[in-house]
């Protein structure tokens, strides 16, 4: 569905600038499922919060420092941070059946299409009129 009707529109870039880090995102369709992946490196899985309300997906997570007690930094480039992302979801997605998995620093959401959004084959029948040969008579 990422063709004419995009079921996932970027929302956060308009509104969330300057509020922590934005999680990089990829989205693709495979069969009847839209897969959305967010980069969340170094994030504690317990801090990941995903909410969907009124067609908007809101993601937030925290990356906290993991310095052992009594240790002191020589170099500190990996700061604690708040990570967020907001995207609008199209009404073709079945948000009641989202599958979420966090592995290797990547959060993967699989969102199936609603039944009404799936392609359907339409049977075509021939009418009796179209199957009869057309006879024409010439008048003089």
- 107, with CB counted inside 10 A (0-12, 13-18, 19+), is buried
Under CATH, which number does the domain 8-131 receive?
2.60.40.790
pLDDT value at residue 2: 37
β-strand partners of 61: 83
Mean pLDDT computed over every residue of the chain = 82
- Give the predicted TM-score (pTM) of the model: 0.71
Is the predicted pLDDT of residue 88 greater than 60, yes or no? yes
pLDDT > 90? residue 110: yes
HEC-encoded secondary structure of 19-38: CCEECCEEEEEECCEEEEEE
Average pLDDT over residues 68-78: 88
Segments making up each domain of the chain, as ranges: 8-131
């Amino acid at each position: 569905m990422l063709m004419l009707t995009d079921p996932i529109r970027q929302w956060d870039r308009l509104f969330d600038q300057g509020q922590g880090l934005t999680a990089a995102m990829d989205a693709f369709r495979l069969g009847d499922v839209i897969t959305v992946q967010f980069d969340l490196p170094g994030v504690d899985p317990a801090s990941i919060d995903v909410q969907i309300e009124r067609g908007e997906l809101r993601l937030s997570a925290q990356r906290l420092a993991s310095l052992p007690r009594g240790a002191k930094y020589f170099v500190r480039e990996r700061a604690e941070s708040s990570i967020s992302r907001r995207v609008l979801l199209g009404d073709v997605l079945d948000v009641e059946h989202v599958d979420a998995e966090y592995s290797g620093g990547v959060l993967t959401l699989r969102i199936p299409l609603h039944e009404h959004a799936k392609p359907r084959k339409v049977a075509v029948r021939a009418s009796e009129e179209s199957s009869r040969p057309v006879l024409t008579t010439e008048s003089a």
